[in-house]
Amino acid sequence: MSQQYFDRNGKLYTLSETSKRRPRSGAFGIARAHNKYLLLWSEEAPDTPEVPGGGIDEGEDVYEALVREFYEETGVQLPRKLIPATPFLDRVTPYYALCDHEFWDYHQRYFFINDAEAIYFEGARTTPENGKAAWLALDEIAKETMHAAHKQALDILLQKIGG
């Protein structure tokens, strides 16, 4: 049976012998403050909110990557002390990257940044990557069509913390 990969919208793609496939590693942070969660809407996919994070560059560790990606995607300088020592979710996701037309065996680490009041802001803000970032309550998030992998991670987190 052919391996299936999903994109940000949850659409399935089947890996073929001629497909471009590669490993990738990423770090993501689900930040909570005042019972709201920080999401971003990228310029690339303005209708699909996601959690801050992304690929780990050569020479970076998972924490350095998360701090860098957090800033690039939200404009928020994430203090290292807010990042827990271990992720709440560490998995390899079969992901299809629409922008690159590539199949990724994506090693994703998700960190729960709880009590993130130090980085909280009101309203929406434009990000360094020309997207938008905002804090949303769970009932507001439920009305959004989130990035499929990030929605799975958020659901797993909420099960773990009883949210």
Whole-model pTM: value is: 0.95
What pLDDT was estimated at residue 162?
Answer: 87
- What is residue 50's DSSP assignment? B
Could you tell me which CATH class the domain 4-161 is placed in? Answer: alpha beta
What pLDDT was estimated at residue 1?
Answer: 53
66 near 28, Cβ under 8 Å? yes
Residue 35 CB: number of other CB atoms within 10 A?
9
Grouped pLDDT means (10 residues each) for the chain, 163 residues: 88 94 98 98 95 97 98 97 97 95 97 98 96 98 97 98 84
- What is residue 2's DSSP assignment? -
Q: Which of 37, 20, 153 lies closest to 87, judged by CA?
A: 153
End-to-end CA distance of the chain: 37
